[in-house]
């Protein structure tokens, strides 16, 4: 068993708490399903949100999915001119038997353009 990191991102259409919960839940569900992870595989999860998002904490979506005994933290993404707006990113650390090459990084919708090198 190894410790691996998995990345992902999703863009929101609007800054509303319910919409954030829906989109971040979809992202986390996709990360878990595509990698065949369960919540017990998670060690910790970092969320970042672009500065134009302030309706809720992205980590609240994880708690809503039942991820309750995993350390979660939220931070603000750098405010870079021209960056894609309304984006939540995730960096999850997991225990897995998957190799680095087997990890599926999940970039939903338009965020696939952020990391064409690893987006699947």
- Residue numbers annotated as active site: 7, 63, 74, 77, 89, 107, 115
Sequence-distant (6+) residues with CB within 8 A of 40 are none
Closest by CA to 108, choosing from 34, 13, 23, is: 23
Tell me the sheet residues that pair with 3.
95
d(CA 71, CA 46): 9
Kind of pairing between the strands at 72-76 and 42-49? parallel
């Amino acid at each position: 068993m190894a410790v691996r990191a998995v990345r992902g991102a999703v863009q929101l259409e609007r800054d509303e708490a319910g919409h954030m919960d829906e989109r971040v839940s979809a992202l986390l569900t996709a990360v878990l399903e595509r990698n065949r992870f369960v919540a017990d595989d998670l060690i910790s999860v970092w969320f970042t949100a672009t500065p134009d998002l302030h309706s809720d904490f992205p980590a609240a979506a994880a708690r809503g999915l039942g991820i309750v005994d995993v350390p979660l933290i939220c931070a603000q993404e750098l405010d870079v001119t021209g960056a894609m707006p309304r984006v939540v990113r995730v960096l999850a650390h997991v225990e897995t038997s998957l190799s680095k090459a087997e990890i599926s990084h999940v970039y939903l919708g338009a965020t696939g353009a952020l990391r064409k090198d690893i987006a699947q």
